[in-house]
Amino acid sequence: MKIVADENIPFVEGAFSTLGEVTTLAGRALTAASVCDADVLLVRSVTRVGKQLLSGSKVKFVATATIGFDHIDTEYLKEADIGFASAPGCNSNSVAEYVLSALVVLAERKGFALPQKTVGIVGCGNVGSKVRAKLGALGIPCLVNDPPLKDQTGDPGFVELDEIFSADIITLHVPLEKSGKYPTFQMVNESFLGKMKGGAMLINSSRGKVVDERALLKTLQSGKVSAVLDVWQYEPNIDGRILERVELATPHIAGYSYDGKVRGTEMIYEAACKFFGVPPTWRLSDHLPAAPIKRLEFSDSVSEDDVIRASIFSSYDIREDDGKLRRILKMPESERGAYFDKLRKTYPIRREFPCTEIIISKRRQELAEKLRGIGFRVN
């Protein structure tokens, strides 16, 4: 069996070599010629998979090691009788940690306490539900909008979108849907932005095309709202005018924790084994290095806010990724796309909150519960 894979999928050769011969290529370098004689194609979000790529190929199974799959033409795969799998939820915790890091920076820069702000969560699936749980642990009030989930569950706790506009911060966690009952393509348009409160903040770590960037640019220029963007409408050729104006900007890496990426590999490997009727023989636990536990100790004199902020930054400081991406503004436009992709390809290992242990006094039980609630170990 021949397997062609994006080289940016961790452990892909070790895992899939149990099924056949593995060839790895850069995700944007995957072409019809490079996959024509493959039996299995493994991608991440930068590779568009459909008729143009697969027509005439031998591919029987496609998998994406990502939560979203709007880069996959699933209808074509069905018509061509090609199996498909994604990795739902694999990096959801990573994205939720990204949102917390962004919120801590916004609170520090703008001089507010997070529990004094209301956060509107649009989309409460794998990612949004984790964001909701972490914000709840910190005592941050939330409004949650998810029409499809409300239809399924009848949960009266979900609010209508119009109520979300009363929030001080709106964070997006929706799939990209261009049709159907609840389309999300460019849902953040001029009307949406016009309904946001003056001084409100928008965070998008879902899909770039959920936001109409022409409308966003106009709103940012007016100064009415501020924004944090991890995803962009025209990746990798992002709009420098927007980059100059957003509060924080990153190169589509919110879900790039090491833990999340390797979970994605394991999930698509098991899906491929099931598809081909082969018992899985590769186990992630046999190959993943033990997480180095980072220990942070705080005295009683350190305030609760400072402990939480320092703990989050010790694990993931969004400002570092923001600084790296902003270097793109000093480059010729012809070099920017390649630099954006390089930041993703060479992204450093980032471990999630459970790899950090916080040591505090037994007297600070309320703080201990908050830290545990967002994912840290506490001693």
For residue 117 the two structure tokens come to 């702000």
Parallel, antiparallel or unpaired: strands 377-378 and 356-359: parallel
What span, in angstroms and rounded, lies between the C-alpha atoms of 74 and 58? 17
Active-site annotation holder among 44, 132, 173, 207 = 207
Distance linking the first and last C-alpha atoms of the chain: 49
What span, in angstroms and rounded, lies between the C-alpha atoms of 91 and 96? 9
Measure CA 60 to chain center. 28
DSSP count for the chain of H helices, then E strands? 16, 14
Verify whether residue 235 is a known catalytic residue.
yes
Verify whether residue 173 is a known catalytic residue.
no
What span, in angstroms and rounded, lies between the C-alpha atoms of 114 and 103? 8
* Burial zone of 266 (CB within 10 Å; 0-12 exposed, 13-18 middle, 19+ buried): buried
SS (H, E, C) 9-78: CCCHHHHHCCCCEEEEECHHHCCHHHHCCCCEEEECCCCCECHHHHCCCCCCEEEECCCCCCCECHHHHH
Active-site annotation holder among 71, 132, 173, 252 = 252
Active-site annotation holder among 7, 235, 270, 357 = 235
Q: What residues are labeled active site?
A: 207, 235, 252
